[in-house]
């Protein structure tokens, strides 16, 4: 069966909800808002055209990392399988677009982020409060200041 894989760039619209099933399986979900921007010729500026909303689902270790890392309003890039859900509530038919996430990350074209690798050797805390406390114990690595190059100065390649 063919899967519809999508990559969606947008902002976290709701606080991620973390759940752990009785069997220990972790899941997180949040709403993602993706706005289309268009050039308004009359105003000569960029303007939002419309916004699409998706429910993003994360599982296992990704779920715990989402709960510990993402907050409302943060720009993210989500890659995963698109699922269109259809249900009936109070006699009305509802459609929703869900993404079963394979990968989620901050959109670095709109800001900076610090990565902390989770050790696979120890048991991952799946409770978001314990996970946040565990990540607070390990200090973030120092990021060297990057001064802009002086005029005419040689810039080393990456």
Number of folded domains that form the chain:
1
Range of the domain at 69: 5-136
Q: How much is the pTM? A: 0.71
In a domain, residue 16? The reply is yes
* The pLDDT of residue 2: 80
In a domain, residue 92? The reply is yes
The segments of the chain whose pLDDT lies below 50 read 121-122, 140-151, 153, 155-158
* The pLDDT of residue 50: 93
Q: Where are the beta strands (DSSP E) in 41-111?
A: 45-59, 75-89, 92-106
Residue where the block lists tokens 């200090």: 139
Cβ(99)–Cβ(8) below 8 Å: yes
* The pLDDT of residue 119: 72
* The pLDDT of residue 141: 45
The CATH number assigned to the domain holding 116 equals 2.40.50.140
């Amino acid at each position: 069966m063919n899967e519809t894989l999508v990559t969606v760039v947008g902002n976290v619209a709701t606080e991620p909800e973390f759940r752990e099933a009785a069997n220990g399986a972790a899941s997180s979900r949040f709403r993602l808002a993706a706005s289309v921007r268009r050039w308004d010729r009359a105003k000569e500026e960029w303007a939002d055209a419309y916004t699409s909303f998706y429910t993003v689902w994360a599982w296992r270790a990704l779920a715990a990392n989402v709960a510990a890392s993402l907050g409302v309003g943060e720009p993210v890039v989500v890659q995963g399988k698109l699922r269109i859900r259809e249900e009936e509530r109070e006699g009305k038919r509802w459609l929703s677009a869900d993404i079963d996430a394979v990968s989620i990350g901050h959109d670095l074209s709109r800001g900076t982020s610090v990565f902390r690798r989770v050790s696979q050797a120890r048991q991952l805390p799946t409770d978001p409060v314990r996970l946040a406390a565990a990540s607070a114990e390990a200090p973030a690595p120092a990021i060297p200041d990057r001064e802009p190059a002086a005029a005419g100065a040689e810039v080393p390649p990456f």
